[in-house]
A and B are shown apart, each in its own frame.
Chain A
Amino acid sequence: MTETSTRETASGGSTSRGAGAAPHTPARPSRAAGLRDLSNWADWAALVGLIVLVVIFQSLNSTFLSPGNIQSMLVASAILIVLAIGQTFVVATAGIDLSVASTMTLAAVVFGMVFTAGHGLPLSMAAAVVAGAMVGLVNGLLVARGRITDFIVTLGTLSAASGLALILSDGKPATIISAPLLKLSTGSIGIFGYSVIVALVIALIAHIVLFRTRFGTHVLATGGNAEAANATGVRTKRVKTWVYVISGVLAGIGSILLVARVGAAEPAANTAFLLNSVAAVVLGGVSLFGGRATIIGPVIGALLLTALVNGLTLLGVSQFYQPLSVGIVVVLAAFLTRFQK
């Protein structure tokens, strides 16, 4: 814990920066400090945005902050949180995973197949996670070893995974009837549904991995300066491969939550999840150029996007306006990130 606070002071202690600078350092500390402040502010754009939205929606509709609505918002955000965390690892290495949502679809279909074949819940869940991991591994190997642009690779697997999902399922949803799964989607402790608890536990683990392990440091180093990282013995190719595997595994876990929520394994395209996972990451202040990431940021970003949709629905705004509003929020957030660095 000591080092967190020290580190945050180190990067955030802009007020005292000019004072101790050696006389020969370039004489523009105040400007740098000003930019610093703005960039810190940009880091917290998601939180500020979330608070603003909550205030607005609450003043327009007092049921917005009712325990029941908070609970349903949290549950609704669980899958997006899980996907956004996977996306965060990839983006932290300066990559992008456009295949998260279709990987989740494929994993859901695999879940359905294994479950329908009567292999039971644990094996079905494991199969879904393995399927996600496999897609992630393909992505990772192609990006890291095959030296193909992440954008193209994951665009390819986006299409391939959803195609595979259609082929395997023959285009038909498989109904999943399972008491424990139902419990996962409906059960709760206080206002926290089980699915959101799963998502938050994953977020906690991800935070520890990113900031408390050698791997996490190497992820940030790879995103920050891959050449330098390589020269100091960081195996950047391996790191790049692993972040896609992480994203795939989390897409697999997301598919379990999805099947639990829908009660069926569908080969439906979940395009909104892809866009929202990238949006949550950007809203969370993670740099698309890599090397700069948090877990809490994208989690708040995911909550914000969910609150936005939920609030608009409560206010009776037509569904058609939702993608538009999400788009505006994301572009605004992207605009704020211009002040980073």
Chain B
Amino acid sequence: MFGLLADPIGQTTRLNVETSMTTITAAESVPVADPTAPLLSLRGVNKSFGAVDVLRGVDIDIRPGRVTALVGDNGAGKSTLIKGIAGIHSFDAGEYTFEGKPVTVHSPKDSNALGIEVVYQDLALCDNLDVVQNMYLGRELKKSALLDEDTMEAKAKETLSGLSVRTLKSVRTLVASLSGGQRQTVAIARAVLWNSRIVILDEPTAALGVAQTEQVLLLVRRLADRGLGVVLISHNLTDVFQVADDIAVLYLGQMVAQVEAKSVTNNQVVELITAGRSGDLGLKHPMADVIEEGASKTGGVSA
């Protein structure tokens, strides 16, 4: 856990033990009245761009301590949904509740204030800055007029080691020299730096190799184990089944199912993604009534 803290040139930053303890505790135990109650709920959310209805009556619950995988085909509306949650664009209709209270989220600032952090598909990192600078970019800590580098560095190390990230040699490494997995790690660490409650990751493993995917998934799991609500967008069902507690399936802008991962099979999820239904899960068959009628008729005849 302290591999990261080993300073290459032996200038270990003075770490105030007391502060570090309190911060870790605060991050680890998020006070929730009912541990299973959803942190964030959307009900009947609509979003259209011009004449195109991208989201239609979407419901979703994000619970603390659970990884909710958000799956769906290309263009199903996954990114649109999380951008709405993040406040990048607001929903046209529907309810947005946080901890049971209705809230209005119109800008990323609003969602940040609620403790919602998003790691976007196209990682917003600056290659020319180091890990600490990236983690604090736009929200730097100051001591009077100057940057409080010592505190930022210590807290960045603390956050990374709290996530058991051992692959980074130094938090003063330039991001340009990091591997894809390490960059993703930095982006995720930035998201949890702010006592966040919900972390949303848009395809965090898309560009990664096997080993690095494994690392990022472990990290995703660890976030949930700390009590955060985690949303993971992924096209890779192996990853989804490895790490997710719940699976939410978007099909052409409709939330066709939100189920526990262990209650469904890979094939069922594939069917839900591609056809919007699987057995009695998902959309009702458009001919369901006719079939039922037909079935009762034939039943009548044969009897």
Contact B179 A224 (CB under 8 A): no
Among residues of B, the one whose C-beta sits closest to the C-beta of A233 is B138
Find chain A residues with CB under 8 A from B113 CB.
none
A217 touches B140 (CB 8 A): yes
Q: How far is the CA of A10 from the CA of B212 in the complex (A)?
A: 22
Which residue of chain A has its CB nearest to the CB of B14?
A: A2
Cβ of B128 and Cβ of A229 under 8 Å apart? Answer: no
Whether the Cβ atoms of A214 and B126 lie closer than 8 Å is no
Q: Does A208 contact B (CB under 8 A)?
A: yes
Whether the Cβ atoms of B133 and A217 lie closer than 8 Å is yes
Contact between chains at B170 and A10 (CB < 8 Å): yes
Stretch at the interface among A21-29, A40-48, A297-305: A21-29
Total contacting residues, chain B, CB less than 8 A: 41
Residue B147 CB within 8 A of the other chain: yes
A32 and chain B: residue at smallest CB distance: B177
A105–B298 CA distance with the chains assembled, in angstroms = 97
Q: Does A20 contact B (CB under 8 A)?
A: yes
Query: What residues on B are CB-neighbors of A32 within 8 Å?
Result: 177
Q: Does A30 contact B (CB under 8 A)?
A: no
**A2-B11, A9-B170, A10-B174 known; A232-B128 Cβ under 8 A:** no
Contact A6 B11 (CB under 8 A): yes
Scoring A16, A20, A32, A208 by chain B CB atoms within 10 A of each residue's CB, the highest score goes to A20
Within B110-131, which residues are at the interface with A (CB < 8 Å)?
Answer: 120, 123-130
B146/A212 in contact, CB under 8 A: yes
- Taking A10-B172, A214-B140 as contacts, is the C-beta distance between A224 and B129 under 8 angstroms? yes
CA distance A297 to B108 in the complex (A): 38
Are A22 and B179 interface neighbours, CB within 8 A? yes
A214, B142: Cα distance in complex, Å: 8
Q: Shortest Cβ distance from B34 into chain A, in angstroms?
A: 33
Nearest residue (CB) in B for A36 is B177
A229, B9: Cα distance in complex, Å: 30
The CA-CA distance from A249 to B167 in the complex, in Å, is: 45
B7 at interface by CB-CB < 8 Å: yes
Residues of A within 8 A of B120 (CB): 231
Give min CB distance, B193 to chain A, whole Å.
12
Give the CA-CA distance A2 to B125 in the complex, in Å.
Answer: 24
Q: How far is the CA of A232 from the CA of B140 in the complex (A)?
A: 11
**B124 and A227 form a contact (CB under 8 A):** yes
Expressed in whole angstroms, the Cα–Cα distance for A6 and B154 within the complex equals 13
CA–CA, A224 and B177, complex, Å = 14
Number of A residues, CB within 8 Å of B: 39
Using known A-B contacts A2-B150, A208-B146, A217-B129, determine if residue A22 contacts B167 with beta carbons closer than 8 Å. Answer: yes
User: Chain B residue with minimal CB distance to A14?
Assistant: B177
- A165 proximal to B (CB < 8 A): no
Q: Are B8 and A9 in contact (CB under 8 A)?
A: yes
Do most interface residues of chain A lie in helix, strand or loop, or is the interface mixed?
helix
Residues of chain B within 8 A of A213, CB atoms compared: 145-147
With an 8 A cutoff between CB atoms, is B101 at the interface? no
Contact of A6 among B7, B133, B212 (CB under 8 A): B7
B268 CB-CB contact with A under 8 Å: no
- Which of chain B's residues has its CB closest to A228's CB? B124
The docked-state distance in angstroms from the alpha carbon of A23 to that of B151 is: 31
Among residues of A, the one whose C-beta sits closest to the C-beta of B13 is: A2
Does A156 sit at the interface, judged by CB under 8 A? Answer: no
Q: Mark B1-37, 1 if CB is under 8 A from A, else 0.
A: 0000001110101000000000000000000000000
Question: Residue B153 at the A interface, CB < 8 A?
Answer: yes
Determine the residue in chain B with the shortest Cβ distance to A291.
B128
**B90 at interface, CB cutoff 8 A:** no
Q: Is A5 an interface residue (CB 8 A)?
A: yes
Residues A13 and B8 in contact in the complex (CB < 8 Å), given A3-B153, A7-B172, A234-B138:
yes
Note all chain B residues with C-beta closer than 8 A to A217: 129, 133, 137, 140, 147
Bound state CA distance, A23 and B215, in angstroms? 13
- Least CB distance from B138 to A in Å reads 3
B147-163 interface code vs A (CB 8 A; 1 in, 0 out):
10110010000000000
Report the Cα distance A341→B8, complex, angstroms: 23
CB of B126 within 8 A of CB of A224, answer yes
Does B125 lie within 8 Å of A225, measured CB to CB? yes
- Chain A hits for B125, CB < 8 A: 225, 228
Shortest CB–CB separation between residue A33 and chain B, in angstroms?
Answer: 10
| Whole-angstrom CA separation of A5 from B126 in the bound complex | 21
| Pair A224/B173 contact, Cβ less than 8 Å | no
Chain A, range 168-223, C-beta contacts under 8 Å to B: 208, 212-214, 217-218, 220-221, 223
Name A residues whose Cβ lies closer than 8 Å to a Cβ of B. 2-3, 5-7, 9-11, 13, 16-17, 20, 22-26, 32, 208, 212-214, 217-218, 220-221, 223-225, 227-229, 231-234, 291-292, 341
Q: List the 4 shortest-distance A-B pairs measured between CB atoms, nearest first.
A: A233-B138, A10-B172, A224-B128, A291-B128
**Residue positions of B touching A, CB distance < 8 A:** 7-9, 11, 13, 108, 120, 123-130, 133, 137-140, 142, 145-147, 149-150, 153, 167, 169-170, 172-174, 176-177, 179, 181, 209-212
22 A-B pairs, CB-CB below 8 angstroms?
A2-B150, A3-B172, A6-B11, A6-B172, A7-B130, A9-B8, A9-B172, A10-B174, A11-B130, A16-B8, A23-B211, A24-B210, A24-B212, A32-B177, A217-B147, A220-B133, A221-B129, A224-B128, A229-B138, A232-B137, A233-B137, A233-B138
Known: A10-B173, A228-B124. 15 other contacts (CB 8 A): A3-B172, A5-B11, A217-B137, A218-B138, A220-B128, A220-B133, A221-B128, A225-B126, A229-B138, A231-B120, A231-B124, A232-B137, A232-B138, A233-B138, A341-B176
